Chains A and B, each alone.
Chain A
Amino acid sequence: MPAQEFTLSDLKKILHESAGTGEGVDLDADILDTGFEELGYESLALLETGGRIERDWGITLDDTALTDAATPRALIETVNRHLASAAV
């Protein structure tokens, strides 16, 4: 297990700082399975978000990690997988 787990609240904070919050979007609602597109984040916003996660959490995501993760849940799982393998 990673020493520290990447949580939804970590993601929400990074998302907001990296890309703001879309009008009419409530990041505090249950968004785990809401698509990033529906949340108003396009690929550029996710690239900035991914860069921030990589720097803040000391991991390197694959090129496809961001495009493959369509929802917060998927991205959080990917990040935690990287954290776990980094901790081994």
Chain B
Amino acid sequence: MTVAGRRVALTGIGVLAPGGIGSKRFWDLLADGRTATRRITFFDPTPFRSQVAAQIDFDPAEHGLGPQDVRRMDRAAQLAVVAAREALEDSGIGVGSGPGSADPHRTGVTVGSAVGATMGLDQEYRVVSDGGTLELVDHTYAVPHLYGYLVPSSFAAEVAWAAGAEGPATVVSTGCTSGIDAVGHAAEVIREGSADVMVAGATDAPISPITMACFDAIKATTPRRDEPECASRPFDGTRNGFVLGEGSAFFVLEELDSARRRGAHVYAELAGYATRSNAYHMTGLRPDGAEMAEAIRSALGQARTAADRIDYVNAHGSGTKQNDRHETAAFKKSLGAHAYDVPVSSIKSMVGHSLGAIGSIEIAACALAMEHHVIPPTANLRTPDPECDLDYVPLTARERRTDTVLTVGSGFGGFQSAMVLARPDRDAE
């Protein structure tokens, strides 16, 4: 439900991605077409089928987190808090009682996460079960904040505390579309008038043995080991699975008019958002991409944007056989002939697939692409696949006027989401 005239502006960005902590270094990585996929160092990956990942070189102390913060929070929550702080600082907004500050009661939080505190749960289970030997796990060995790992709404609480927000707060957890859905959810909260400012984004830190094992079991992650920096190959003919990543991106979203009144820099308007389900399979995709196409059409409709106005499509592009085919079909179905003209790229080729976080990291990439009028490339795309026959911007970034962008996601559970970002003054030009 939209209160007449309420539009949503993106005014602050914070990113922690593999190869790039902070939105500037993140953007440099994308613009240079560098990759951050490496052999796993968090644990010995030797027993696993897939042994590469995109890890962040992250020291929480460097980013202002104290020893108790680190003990209390799972890594995913730590990444979220640091990214949210960067976004708040970037937006220049204050939350509190000072003049010109946002009202804490009118400031909310939405955090996307697909797998919550997976890393913490994996480590703690190992301890309380004494290496899997105790069926009746020993509670006297549990960390005191284990409840916050059990129920990942603790992530929303941490971000709300960091931001000083006291409006509506929640975690949105829709698998690998969480990062789009969380931002879409926050935008709806502003549009309907339940908040004026939302600190929204997503986080996941899934690089742990249990995650590697479960993706091994369904052969979803790449078994490629020889050149880890070239392991993520979306839309490439030799692709054979995704590369797991981690990270977080957060945004400050504001009601557009009040953002303009305070002279905020507006990266983009969140002009359209939609999600649909394929109601088909928890992990499988129908090749025709019909439900993703429907989500794209709906998001374009909400944005009142014709398909041929899209300057850039940020693809889900996970690098699995079925996803990249599915998605290519969805673009053709929803964008028509324009699908063949518009540049499409997948930054997962560079930063890997951080599950619930990646949707927000990709929104950050879209906003920065609009900022710089540069389309990030699809790295490692050297071998054409006849089934993936669009312009995927191989290897090198491309300069191009970018005013309207589409980003999509597809996830386990059948969720298909799409979001349109646009320059708010696009119709005035």
Contact = CB atoms under 8 A, between A and B. Distances in A.
A42 interface: yes
A5 interface: no
Nearest to B220: A47
B218 A47 contact: yes
B218 A63 contact: no
Contacts of B282: 44
Interface string A17-59: 0000000000000000000000000111001100100000000
A63 B219 CA distance: 8
B284 interface: yes
Nearest to B241: A63
Interface residues of A, number: 7
Contacts of A51: 217
B283 interface: yes
Contacts of B217: 47-48, 51
A44 B281 contact: yes
Main secondary structure of the interface of B (DSSP, over half): loop
B172 to A, nearest CB: 25
B321 to A, nearest CB: 10
A64 B123 CA distance: 33
Interface string B143-180: 00000000000000000000000000000000000000
Contacts of A47: 217-219
Contacts, number: 15
B223 interface: yes
B284 A44 contact: yes
Interface in B251-303: 281-284
B21 to A, nearest CB: 35
A42 B286 CA distance: 12
B223 A43 contact: no
Nearest to B217: A51
A23 B372 CA distance: 56
Contacts of A43: 284
A42 B280 CA distance: 12
A48 B219 CA distance: 11
Contacts of B219: 47, 63
Contacts of A63: 219, 223
A42 B217 CA distance: 15
A63 B321 CA distance: 13
A42 B218 contact: no
A48 B282 CA distance: 14
Nearest to B282: A44
B206 to A, nearest CB: 20
Nearest to A48: B217
A47 B217 CA distance: 7
Interface of A: 42-44, 47-48, 51, 63
* Top 4 A-B pairs, shortest CB-CB distance: A47-B218, A44-B283, A51-B217, A63-B219
15 contacts: A42-B281, A42-B284, A43-B284, A44-B218, A44-B281, A44-B282, A44-B283, A44-B284, A47-B217, A47-B218, A47-B219, A48-B217, A51-B217, A63-B219, A63-B223
Given A44-B218, A44-B282, A47-B217, 4 more contacts: A44-B281, A47-B219, A48-B217, A63-B219
